[in-house]
Amino acid sequence: QIDREDFTAWLQLIVLLFSHIFQRRDAVYKRNYKDYFGFMEGPVREKPAEELTESEKGILAWLDKNK
């Protein structure tokens, strides 16, 4: 039988591991999206604001936020 302190220690370890996994995943996503969105950035930035689609606005906002 596991006591409360051991359970707490295991739970903290699991939370730490998941936190690390999510941080790495987010870093990979950020790098990949930055490459893809960066490729699209030039033509999108040249468009007048009123011609931008919602997706293009979102891409530009994401690029500005994640420089």
pLDDT confidence of residue 35: 85
**Tokens matching residue 44:** 């999108």
C-alpha pair distances (Å), 44 with each of 7, 13, 14, 31, 60: 52, 44, 43, 19, 8
Q: Give the pLDDT confidence of 9-58 residue by residue, as tens digits.
A: 999 999 999 999 999 998 888 888 888 888 888 899 999 999 999 999 99
Q: Answer whether 41's CB lies under 8 Å from 60's CB.
A: yes
Q: Answer whether 45's CB lies under 8 Å from 63's CB.
A: no
Nearest CA-CA partner of 45 in 25, 60, 28? 60
On the question of pLDDT at 61 being above 90, the answer is yes
Structural domain boundaries in the chain? 25-67
Sole residue written with tokens 């739970």:
11
pLDDT confidence of residue 40: 82
pLDDT confidence of residue 2: 80
Q: Is the pTM of this model over 0.85?
A: no
